[in-house]
Amino acid sequence: VLAALAQPPIMPKAIAQVDRLVEARTMSAASVQGLIVRAQHESALPKPEYHYGRHGEEFIDLGIQDATDFIDFFRKHLQRDDLRVFTYITTKDTQDRLWIFVGSDNGVVAQYNETKHTMWSFFRQMDAEKYLTSGRGWWVEAVGAEGGVRFEPW
């Protein structure tokens, strides 16, 4: 019982969005850019065999045939200059800060866990628009702007 009381409460999405928007807007332009560059230059996806086993079928029509192709595609995805970038606070008890890099054209998503300083997941949503809509009222979008990035509620 005491362990349960020590856990942060599950956070409603709307509150998480406001909190993340405030956090993001107080980050310096250099720290935001540094974080995004670090995430985009990740060359390792933790547990690649696990991620390929769980999500590999989602990539078959993109020519991905095995775990090696999957990791290569992961690296290339992160280097794209047309990714939409969002950040949010998980509403689970951990309340991690995540960044997602979404290819709107193919639904490919890379998740970076800022709290744990590691790539978190790599998967594909066949309906990218539906996936993006699921974050409305919860996520914060990082929009490129002159001199850096501005953050807007999604």
Cα angle 57, 58, 61 (rounded to 5 degrees) comes to 90
Rg of the chain on CA atoms, in Å = 16
Q: What is residue 81's three-state secondary structure?
A: coil
Which are the contacts of 56, defined by CB distance < 8 A and separation ≥ 6? 64, 66, 67, 70
Q: Write b or e for each residue in 52-89: b if 16 or more Cβ atoms lie within 10 A of its Cβ, otherwise e.
A: beebbebbeeeebeebeebbebbeebbeeeebbbbbbb
State the pLDDT at residue 5. Answer: 53
| Span 109-142, pLDDT tens digits | 999 999 999 999 999 999 999 999 999 999 999 9
Mean pLDDT of the chain: 91
Q: Beta strands 84-89 and 148-153: pairing type?
A: unpaired
For the segment 39-60, the average pLDDT, to the nearest whole number, is 91
State the pLDDT at residue 8. Answer: 58
Given a cut of 60, whether residue 2 has pLDDT beyond it is no
